[in-house]
Amino acid sequence: MATRVKSTKPAGGEPATLASTAYERLRREIIAGDFPPGRKLHIRRLCERYDVGLSPMREALNRVSRDGLVRQNDLRGFSVAPVSLEDLADLTRSRCWLNEIALRQSIKDGDAEWEEGIVLAFHRFSRAGDPLAAMTPEERANHEGAHRNFHASLIAACGSGRLRDYCEQLFDAADRYRNLKQPHQFETRRKRDEHREIMEAVLARDVEKAVRLLIDHFKGTEQIASGEISRFDKVSGPGLKKPARAIP
């Protein structure tokens, strides 16, 4: 168990800073699968894990709850949100609907700077390493960040900050499902280089093709994650009960 070290940071603004730090770490670890679906989250253990007090940790948990990654029960406290085929299908529908609106508007209104942003984001993503190869945690985080930034660049010119925020929140939820599988399961899809095809259609201002490719991309992720959920259902019964990873 980690030893709690008293913070030497100035008191002014400290709770908000600590809550934000704990929120970002907890959010990343839930999305990555370090905390499996359904795992009960013990607040005091999280305080030790992230070296924060009860107040900022509760604030962090409330923020992750608003993101839909954690559920709160008045009697049982906090737990990681469960996953299911029904939720995955609903999530994918929502991603397709909102990203289609954002992508169509971006292609309509996007300028040269927006196009350059897409090209740069794709370049960084393509150079962020091969997810099929062994990666350090830092390299994995860099790859995932580049993937996220590429998708964000596609809809950056939609003109609505709220729409972009909703799409990012859905990206988080989809990433959690995507991380249920093993990297090799995406090998066949990666050979087609779907991201390059999407980029080229967007830059060509071919709206219908770009939308179709993006939706197919999202549905492909759903198909693979669905297979992973079904595999666990056969072992554990209804609902995903993936064996918990060791949490230091």
- CATH number of the domain where residue 21 is located: 1.10.10.10
Range of the domain at 157: 85-236
162 and 205 inside one domain: yes
Which amino acid does the sequence have at 121? A
Q: Could you tell me if residue 248 is inside a domain?
A: no
Looking at the structure of the chain, the number of domains it has is 2
Please tell me the number of Cα atoms within 13 Å of 67 on its side-chain side.
Answer: 26
What are the E-state strand segments in the chain? 40-41, 70-73, 77-80
144 and 42 inside one domain: no
112 and 200 inside one domain: yes
Last residue of a domain, which of 48, 80, 112? 80
Query: Angle of helix 14-32 relative to helix 161-178, nearest 10 degrees?
Result: 50
Last residue of a domain, which of 50, 80, 110? 80
pLDDT of 236 reads 41
CB 242 within 8 A of CB 37: yes
Q: Could you tell me if residue 55 is inside a domain?
A: yes
Tokens of 151: 């998708």
Q: What is the pLDDT of residues 154-166, one digit of tens each?
A: 999 999 999 999 9
Triad 155, 159, 163: Cα angle to 5°? 65
Which of 85, 83, 56 is closest to 70 using CA atoms?
83
pLDDT of 183 reads 52
Domain of residue 160, CATH code: 1.20.120.530
202 and 111 inside one domain: yes
pLDDT of 228 reads 78
CB 241 within 8 A of CB 232: yes
Of 19-23, 58-62, 115-119, 140-144, the poorest mean pLDDT is in: 140-144
Mean pLDDT for the stretch of residues 60-69: 93
Note if the pTM is more than 0.85.
Answer: no
